[in-house]
Amino acid sequence: MREGLPLILAAAAAVTAVVVARSGPSRESVLPLSRTVADHEKGLDRASAVAFPLSPEEERKIGADMARAITVAPAVAGSTAAVHEAQWREAAGEAARSPLVKRFAGQYEFRVVQEYSPNAFALPGGFVFATSSLLDKIGGDFDALMFVAGHEIGHIELGHTADAYRLRSGHDPVTAVFGGVLSIPRLFAELHFSQTQELEADAYAAAVMRSRGHDPRAGLRVFDALGIPKDANTKRDPAEIAVEGLSDYFRTHPGGWERRAALERAIGSQHSNLGSAAQ
């Protein structure tokens, strides 16, 4: 029953989307329906946090065991790759010094893996990885690198990574999660968060940037570098919105238009709050 419930909810959301869409709503007004469906499983993970809490020490051990299974080859000294790695660690370290970082303050480790897919990922306990391809795309953009690190730190500080592993069985987290076979492509396939968690991590990264006196709009440059597109369309045919309601459940990340809009709202909200506080 549990396995079928998300599909039932997705179908109900799609039907509701068609009915509501006939009055010409924007996608922003319809997507909360599919967002509810999309977060169903993650909501169960979050609920388990109350029943099965992980201490920081337990979470750190899980992440350390997993991090040891990931091969990290240092770049050749003096190479462009070595320069990029140094820039990544410097920018990520700046993000980790934000007063918003509390659960693993002073314990974060930032590493680089050689991988053709431009990406970054976080493990429980304060271990954050960026791929060499991602660093090549972003180059020496300090604030963009800092935003990426802030986003991954957000997944850890907000409990997303702990939620993802809390109910996994087995004493060896690598075996429990990956069946003893760990590769970066498989890691990306397994390490996924809900769309809401991705949006929360974006907002957290923006707040981290602001707290350290950096421009959170660097996040938009990250989206550009990763090819996350802009989309100015806000209204479409009801049938298209209904289909999006279904497909949204099966996406790992929110659409580019949604992430951009949400980040700009977060930046504007944080700016307004700072202005009010100053008065």
**Cα distance between residue 263 and residue 6, in whole Å:** 27
Q: State which H helix or E strand residue 111 sits in.
A: strand 109-113
Q: pLDDT higher for 120 or 43?
A: 120
**Cα distance between residue 200 and residue 196, in whole Å:** 6
Residue 246 pLDDT grade (very low, low, confident, very high; cuts 50, 70, 90):
very low
What rounded mean pLDDT belongs to the chain? Answer: 74
Q: Is 32 left (phi over 0), alpha (psi -120 to 50) or beta?
A: alpha
Q: pLDDT higher for 64 or 42?
A: 64
Range in 30-44, 100-114, 225-239, 259-273 the model is least confident about: 30-44
- For residue range 86-129, what is the model confidence (pLDDT) as tens digits? 999 999 999 999 999 999 999 999 999 988 889 899 999 999 99
The first and second tokens of residue 142, run together, are 């300090």
> How many Cα atoms are found within 13 Å in the side-chain-facing hemisphere of 219?
30
What is the residue type of 184?
I
Percent of the chain at pLDDT above 90? Answer: 36
Which segment, 14-23, 30-39, 131-140, 158-167, is predicted with the most confidence on average?
131-140
- The yes-or-no verdict on residue 193 having pLDDT over 60 is yes
Which CB contacts under 8 angstroms, 24+ apart, belong to 229-234? 229/256, 229/257, 230/256, 230/257, 230/260, 231/255, 231/256, 231/257, 232/257, 233/27, 233/257, 234/26, 234/27, 234/28
Find the radius of gyration of the CA atoms of the chain.
Answer: 19
- For residue range 127-181, what is the model confidence (pLDDT) as tens digits? 999 999 999 999 899 999 999 999 999 999 999 888 877 655 454 555 555 555 5
Residue 27 pLDDT grade (very low, low, confident, very high; cuts 50, 70, 90):
very low
Q: What is the pLDDT of residue 241?
A: 43
DSSP class of 78: T
Residue 1 pLDDT grade (very low, low, confident, very high; cuts 50, 70, 90):
very low
> How many Cα atoms are found within 13 Å in the side-chain-facing hemisphere of 189?
8
